[in-house]
Structure 1
Amino acid sequence: MADYSKMTPPEVWKLIRTGEITRPTAGMCAGYAQANLVILPKKYADDFKEFARKNPKPCPILEVVEGTPDIHDMGEGASIVTDIPKYFIYRDGVKVDEVTDVSSYWKEDSVAFLIGCSFSFEEALMKAGIEVRHIAQGCNVSMYKTNIQCESAGVFKGPMVVSMRPMTPENAQKAKEITDRYPNVHGGPVQIGDPAAIGIKDISKPDYGDPVEIRDGEIPVFWACGVTPQAAIENAKLPLVITHAPGHMFITNVLNTELNDYLEAKKQK
């Protein structure tokens, strides 16, 4: 199998576009930030933008794409409708399909949001010697709906979704210090060591993604997750919404080490 970790984002976009890559993107294009996706009709875009503004930890917006599906800030030359390995289609809040190309769904009034992803800080964790279990196991990250309610905005409301990575208590503290430095891709953990405290009844049964091994002496560490909008979309029951399939991200052409400064500079403009 090709080593996708050493490829550039444009190389991987091409392989996704041609259908060679359809699996989760964790570990691909080492060094580059990844992003979650929501595409919805323009009439709901302001509500969603406000939902993201009120809930910056799970929903940090990296770029808004409208008019055409061409991505600019996060990946010049990429398309929002072809360059993600798998998409979910929602109608009236119910997931009705999983597809690898959503070109036929893009309309003149479509607005796409690229949202920061915790895959972006995993590189920093691994450089610090912390194993990222789902990458080590070659599967998708475990994601859970919580009892933490997001601030609602317009038609959007719902629980925060979190991603989980097991590690030793010592590494959990180290991971907190590292991820606190990545506020534009979810920042530090929302909970360490106590799933029940955030309403997770069975750690072995994630709501999205795959279960991963938690070894003796390890605790679960939870970060806000960019799948949160999918829970809000289920509640909003909009006629049509497109999202990425959890774990199947858009790989940006912006380095993780440069993303925070880039976005902070963008806010100043």
Structure 2
Amino acid sequence: MTAPAHPRELRDRIARGEWTTPTAGILDDYQQANLVVIPDSAAADFREYCAANPDVCPLLATTEPGDPLLTYDECTVDLRTALPRYRVWHNGVLVAEPTDILDHWQDDAVAFALGCSHTFDAPLRRIGVPVPRSAPPVYVTDRATTPAGMFAGPLAVSMRPVPGPLVAAAVELTTRYPTGHGAPVQIGNAAELGIADLGVPDFGVYAGVPDGCVPVFWACGVTPQMALPDLGLDYAITHFAGHMLVLDTLLDETRTTS
């Protein structure tokens, strides 16, 4: 499948059903985002949850109740058809993993676009970190996020192997990308996160840690999905892991100065 030249082309192909695979490894000089859609009655609590956990849930943009159009940096997208795959819950039960949510959108739905660690994959490659062009493995940890309102749950992390001599540079670089979750939460010791076996991720595929590399863990946008099933909401919608919203903002526009 030929890679799209611009996020707009990708979103058009997604809307036509021509692209249903992960967004990792393509257009990774552009801002990628996670998605959470919940009823308006829960939206204020989720905003508080994002504010209490800014590294885990870097909030990029929200929608008005019932409006499926989201705008970020003058890029406006229809969230019902802009992601390759979604997850849909009804009353805490996962009921579908569709390629669009045209039939699932609700009149009181409020959507949140959250920053994603794919945002810094290309810069990591440019300093010599061999980031695979595939979705990284994701693990649910034993660390708790900061509760807010009805929202609480464990931290999820993504893992990328980093050559030992480049770990310090990778930390410094990713710290400058707050919309990509910023600095790692743990370096080298999965057990400190309650991860018993790196080879068994909760999402994605584990491709190993090459000799001379160190497993480095960043906060992951799958984290809010850990809180949703137990809330008893009439419905909730998120991205499917690795299948992100790709926006038109170039990466260097999101980087903070060191």
TM-score bucket of the superposed structures, by smaller chain: over 0.9
Rounded Cα–Cα distance in structure 2 between residues aligned with 1:22 and 1:53: 32
Q: Provide the identity percentage.
A: 42
Rounded Cα–Cα distance in structure 1 between residues aligned with 2:254 and 2:112: 16
Is residue 241 of structure 2 the alignment partner of residue 242 of structure 1?
no
Q: Which has the higher helix share?
A: 1
Paired residue type of 1:226 = G
Equivalence for 2:54: 56
- In structure 1, the residue corresponding to 2:71 is in which secondary structure? coil
Deviations 1:92-120 (A, max 9, x none): 22222100110122222110000000000
| Equivalent pair of 1:158/1:235 in contact (CA under 8 Å) | no
Q: How does 1:194-209 map to 2 (within 5 A)?
A: 194-209=189-204
Paired residue type of 2:36 = V
Equivalence for 1:111: 110
Deviations 1:122-168 (A, max 9, x none): 111011121103x1xxx321000111100111211100100000122
Q: How many residues align?
A: 255
Paired residue type of 2:124 = L
Rounded Cα–Cα distance in structure 1 between residues aligned with 2:27 and 2:96: 27
- State the shift of 1:198 in Å: 0.8
Q: How does 1:29-178 map to 2 (within 5 A)?
A: 29-66=27-64, 67-74=66-73, 76-133=75-132, 135=133, 139-178=134-173
Rounded Cα–Cα distance in structure 1 between residues aligned with 2:146 and 2:232: 18
Deviations 1:215-249 (A, max 9, x none): 12222100011110000112323221000001000
Deviations 1:4-24 (A, max 9, x none): 3xx111110011011111111
- In structure 1, the residue corresponding to 2:129 is in which secondary structure? coil
| Equivalent pair of 1:142/1:210 in contact (CA under 8 Å) | yes
Equivalence for 2:227: 232
Rounded Cα–Cα distance in structure 2 between residues aligned with 1:163 and 1:30: 16
- In structure 2, the residue corresponding to 1:99 is in which secondary structure? coil
Match of 2:184 among 189, 195, 202: 189
- State the shift of 1:259 in Å: 2.1
Paired residue type of 2:51 = R
Query: What's the TM-score, normalizing by structure 1?
Result: 0.91
Task: Structure 2: give runs of 5+ residues left out of the alignment.
Answer: none
Tell me the C-alpha RMSD between the 2 structures.
1.4
Paired residue type of 2:173 = I
Task: Structure 1: give runs of 5+ residues left out of the alignment.
Answer: 262-269
| Equivalent pair of 1:62/1:74 in contact (CA under 8 Å) | no
Rounded Cα–Cα distance in structure 1 between residues aligned with 2:196 and 2:229: 21
Q: Bigger CA drift: 191-200 or 59-68?
A: 59-68
Paired residue type of 2:3 = D
- State the shift of 1:185 in Å: 1.9
Is residue 254 of structure 2 the alignment partner of residue 259 of structure 1?
yes
Rounded Cα–Cα distance in structure 2 between residues aligned with 1:256 and 1:95: 33
Paired residue type of 2:113 = L
| Equivalent pair of 1:157/1:235 in contact (CA under 8 Å) | no
